[in-house]
Amino acid sequence: MLKGKHIILGVTGSIAAYKSAVLCRLLVSAGAEVKVVMTNLAKQFITPLTMATVSKNPILVDFFNPENGEWNSHVKLGEWADLYLIAPASANTMAKMAAGVADNLLLTTYLSARCPVAVAPAMDLDMYAHVATQRNMEQLKQDGVHIIEPGSGFLASGLIGKGRMAEPQDIVEAVEAIFASETTNHQKKKSLEGKRFLVTAGATIEPIDPVRFISNHSSGKMGYAVAESLAKRGAEVVLVSGRTALEKPQGVECVDVLSAEEMFEACVERFSKMDGAVMCAAVADYTPQVVAQDKIKKNDDDMSIALKRTRDIAAHLGQHKREGQVLVGFAMETENEEQNATGKLAKKNLDFIVMNSLRKEGAGFRGDTNIVSLIDSHEKVDLPLMSKADVAERIVDKIESFL
């Protein structure tokens, strides 16, 4: 996969720079040609001589070669590369990338790069968790930069937490996955042209009175990612969304609903015209039997609210599915995950089910990542921790295999 690939390896000032030598060696051994760009601070953590030796290329730090005054053209470098990998990426460099600052060769090369860009953040846990760093990483994601998630463990500060740069072998695997998805994205472009899909996302809201409601933690991120992935491949997508704070995805028809009943009506009305549906919403299983007209007044006694079952949308679509339609469900579990998910697969007549468990860190509600298993009647494929966008791509790949 990496044979003959041109990779620029950017190294910034972080203690994790010592791992860049191993990373560089792994990339070179896998057949890539690597050119290393370092910031001035990075030179204090690992020597240019080490990086030049392992990369088999001169190291680039300044805009001019200090020895002969030759111009180190960031534009040419940017054109040469198939991938720009910045590992370690410090909080400072990511902040500058997010803002478009270009005050060193590593950053001007970023702005000139036409290839995919990936960063492997490395920093102390508080710096990593800081709202400013998270905001900058979110901006980079929106700009199309791949983030190779840091790991948790002992940090240089002596603290324990998230912020350790991913291990070199894991970074190489992430790089291979980026090349694989770039190639397949290229091939897959518009592979779903002429197809129509329904996607549900977000949390339903079941009113108790004009003030209170029953709901859950779904942010809508997973379902929106699926809708975007289907639309990117040329499908017409109708996204039936419960409450979320997300921006509407481009090129997707959005239908906003609140309650499970409204979601049921919106889906049932449209399903017959679809080639498939992906049921990602976290739908309430119970709703109050009666919605109070006025705010319920408190008194000194305890109270209980009588609930009734909602209608199961996925199961209803499963019953009315016609030949050729693909129906995908999700299963959010907290125990007996596989058994419960397989039960839902059969009961709702799904083609496959995407199982995620709240017991796994990085999976489930709200975050930008998920850990899922794709289960159909023949096999169970466990996927590693991935961004929700990448999980969506894998789900859509599987949908294509059913069409």
Rg (CA), the chain: 24
Count the residues of the shown chain that bind ligand PMT, applying the rule CB under 6 A: 27
**Does residue 344 touch ligand PMT according to CB under 6 A?**
yes
Question: Are residues 236 and 246 in contact, defined by beta-carbon separation less than 8 angstroms?
Answer: no
Query: Cis bond leading into 48, ω under 30°?
Result: no
Considering the complex, state which of residue 42 and residue 332 has its C-beta at the smaller distance from ligand PMT: 332
Question: Are residues 137 and 90 in contact, defined by beta-carbon separation less than 8 angstroms?
Answer: no
Instruction: State the nearest-atom distance from the C-beta of 201 to ligand PMT, in Å.
Output: 6
The vertex-185 CA angle with 181 and 189, nearest 5°, equals 170
Out of 57, 72, 216, 340, the active site residue is 216
Q: Which of 42, 231, 332, 392 binds ligand PMT (CB under 6 A)?
A: 332
72 an active-site residue?
Answer: no
Q: Token pair of 153, please?
A: 């463990």
Q: Which of 33, 228, 312, 390 binds ligand PMT (CB under 6 A)?
A: 312
**Does residue 89 touch ligand PMT according to CB under 6 A?**
no
Half-sphere exposure of 323 (CA within 13 A, CB side): 0
| Spatial separation of the C-alpha atoms in residues 143 and 17, rounded to whole Å | 25
Question: Are residues 162 and 129 in contact, defined by beta-carbon separation less than 8 angstroms?
Answer: yes
Instruction: State the nearest-atom distance from the C-beta of 86 to ligand PMT, in Å.
Output: 27
**Does residue 281 touch ligand PMT according to CB under 6 A?**
yes
Distance from first CA to last CA of the chain, Å, rounded? Answer: 28
Considering the complex, state which of residue 121 and residue 223 has its C-beta at the smaller distance from ligand PMT: 223
Question: Are residues 353 and 330 in contact, defined by beta-carbon separation less than 8 angstroms?
Answer: yes
**Does residue 240 touch ligand PMT according to CB under 6 A?**
no
Q: Select the span of 31-39, 62-70, 173-181, 214-222 touching ligand PMT (CB under 6 A).
A: 214-222
**Does residue 361 touch ligand PMT according to CB under 6 A?**
no
**Does residue 399 touch ligand PMT according to CB under 6 A?**
no
Instruction: State the nearest-atom distance from the C-beta of 225 to ligand PMT, in Å.
Output: 8
Catalytic positions, written as ranges: 216
